Structure 1
Amino acid sequence: MWRVASRSVLTSLVLTATVICAPVARAEPVPVIVPTVLAAVPHDPGAYSEGLEFDGPDLYEATGEVGKSELRQVDPQTGAVIRSVPLPNDYFGEGIAVVGESIWQLTYRDGVAIEWDKVSFTPRREVPVAGQGWGLCHDGGRFVASDGGDRLRFFDPSFTETGSIRVTRDGQPQAGLNELACVDGQVWAAAWPDDTFVRIDPGTGVVNLVADVSGLWPAAQRNPRQVVSGIAHIAGSEYLISGKEWPRSYRVMLP
């Protein structure tokens, strides 16, 4: 009996040691790509850019800061402002998403999302939104928003929050999620304050690709305010990338 019991105990100890000593599974590093620059486009250096969005050939931009925030339509070839309107109530404007004849816009800490009439550039309504607003995009069925943390938040067409998902890169939380672009079922997000955009699977929250855009306008030539912020999908693998108070935007290919 003692011999049998000892063998059992020994086996248990070996198994326990095996479990304890087994290596911890780690996520494979996410591939990092560098964009191919197709063209540099003038950009208003006074624009504290918070969001870029193409609607067909039309380019819309949101700018931020209290008392200075605007919704703009911009010429994508020259960077000239075609039309602009200040945000109501001195709201601090953030990300935008074009849906049909509406442009939806988040506000930073004002607790509302604004629905604009795309044609007249006038507000239709304001909808309460809890927490901070940073980036916004629309995937064809729902809104996807960021608040500067490590989560994507989801909203239905009436802008009622329906859930969220935590975002991870290489198995670790990916914080600083900022400006968003919904493209082919994936979500590109500016990873503030880094010079990167991360591509996220919104079903799992996993970052599956990283774009290093530090070569567009090197950080050593910028002041601390001039961070990377805007990404707008043009078509295929072509995007427009910009930043806060940048004198140029960049039309790039993300392979």
Structure 2
Amino acid sequence: MYRFSNTVIGYLNLLTLLASIPIIGGGLWLARSSETCESTLQVPLLVLGFVVLLVSLAGFVGACFNLAWALWLYLLAMLVLIGALLGITVFGFAVTGGGGAVAVPGRNYKEYRLESYSGWLRRRIEEPKYWQTARACVVGSRACEKIASWTPLDYLQRSLTPIQSGCCKPPTSCTYDGGTTISAQDEDCYRWNNAASVLCYECDSCKAGVLEQVREDWHKLSVLNVVILIFLIGIYSIGCCAFRNSRRSETDYPYGENRMSKIRPRWDYYWWRWLRDQREQLY
């Protein structure tokens, strides 16, 4: 049982060390992709892969060779990683609460309202720089091309993704006469255009559809982060035991400090022995 925690930490970090290789490879592969949506994941994947690689390497070396300093660095990095992941998870749950889905009577799909999302998400999506990137991502996904040949009956019977519902068609409440809107309607009704390059890409409903997709993905990621946090906290606890074992192997004392006075004499021991020898010489 004395080396059990070191063995467990060694095997766990060997597994995470091997797992970091496909993560880094995936990031390098995405660097060759021309798709906007995929290239945005390149930097996060590479950073995550190298962080996992370095942390796992420190934990593996420290546990296998009983290097207390390597395990200390490993535990410090794990503590920072747990804190960062905890902050990201709490923030994710805070900004992805609720949602803007509104049921449409007689339809299987839902429509989305921009004002129903958190202020932070709305401010981000409404900034021209971020919306142009998101818009390019939507166009590049070709989501609208997949429903371009739908008949009115298809819209009555089939479902739509949030992006298809918000970006590929006008709001269901819009009324047109000869291709032009009539009476006062939602502003998105005036933004709609049949041209394949325009559609409703500049509509608030399109921004809301993108936010809904982001909200769903982010919420799933936050749930996964909770599982990862529990796993990391368990590894951190075992790592603390491995660190203590490494300190014991250096000093052979349970708490990492040799307290035997005969091995480490007091500061006045040598002075006392010198006085004793002088006294023996006199007598």
TM-score range, shorter chain: under 0.3
Higher RCO (CA < 8 A, seq sep 6+)? 2
TM-score between both structures, scaled by the size of structure 2: 0.18
| Structure with a larger share of its residues in strand | 1
| Structure with a larger share of its residues in helix | 2
TM-score between both structures, scaled by the size of structure 1: 0.20
